[in-house]
Amino acid sequence: MTYSKKPLVGIIMGSSSDSRVMQGASEILDQFKIKHEDQIVSAHRTPSRLAEYAQHAEKMGFSVIIAGAGGAAHLPGMIASHTVIPVIGVPILVYNDKHPKKNDTSKFSAFGGLDSLLSITEMPSGSPVVAVGINKAGNAAIYAMKIIANEFPELKKKLELHKSNQHDSVIKESEQLKK
């Protein structure tokens, strides 16, 4: 069963190179049968598309936007400045090993993703964006579902089951240690 005919979550990322990480969010939402729409929107390469996307998100009625970006990760904050839809930022440690060139560090963040994490969390007062850990796109999906779960009791039950499964697997692992 799906919860809505329209996507409830908008997923955006600054570049196709972010998709490998952001897939983590899509996969979790798929597992829970939450419809989402995924797009590439670059805050600095497509600034007008970014503004249009915010209008699109309002029109689509997204409950949450998950925005992933690496480097100077201004995408989540810029989207948040255009809409009141809550934004969850995913700081991305940039890497691209599709066509690696020897000694080419241009695809890697100089600060191990901390630059992106701080860019997202250090939004000035009045324009908040929450952030999950570096590359933790799956956590963004779980948090997004927690936001929308009050509207959907079935989803709330599924999240509770997910939590109790986590509990049970720790107990099982602990029992196995004793053997």
Q: Does 77 bind ligand RP5 (CB under 6 A)?
A: no
Task: Provide, rounded to whole angstroms, the least separation between the CB of residue 71 and ligand RP5.
Answer: 4
Which residue, judged by CB position, is nearest to ligand RP5 in the bound state?
14
Task: Provide, rounded to whole angstroms, the least separation between the CB of residue 113 and ligand RP5.
Answer: 10
CB atoms < 10 A from the CB of 59, how many?
A: 8
Binder among 71, 76, 86, 113 for ligand RP5 (CB under 6 A): 71
CB 129 within 8 A of CB 82: no
Of 12-20, 58-66, 133-141, 154-162, the window that binds ligand RP5 (rule: CB under 6 A) is: 12-20
Binder among 70, 76, 86, 91 for ligand RP5 (CB under 6 A): 70
Nearest CA-CA partner of 115 in 93, 136, 87: 93
Please give the sequence-ordered ranges of beta strands (E in DSSP) within the chain, or none if there are none.
9-13, 36-40, 64-70, 87-92, 130-131
Is the Cβ of residue 63 or residue 119 nearer to ligand RP5 in the bound state?
A: 119
Nearest CA-CA partner of 132 in 149, 120, 124: 120
Strand order in the sheet with 87-92: 36-40, 9-13, 64-70, 87-92, 130-131
Binder among 94, 117, 132, 148 for ligand RP5 (CB under 6 A): 94
Q: Does 69 bind ligand RP5 (CB under 6 A)?
A: yes
Q: Does 15 bind ligand RP5 (CB under 6 A)?
A: yes
CB atoms < 10 A from the CB of 74, how many?
A: 21
List residues binding ligand RP5 (CB under 6 A).
14-15, 17-18, 42, 69-71, 92, 94
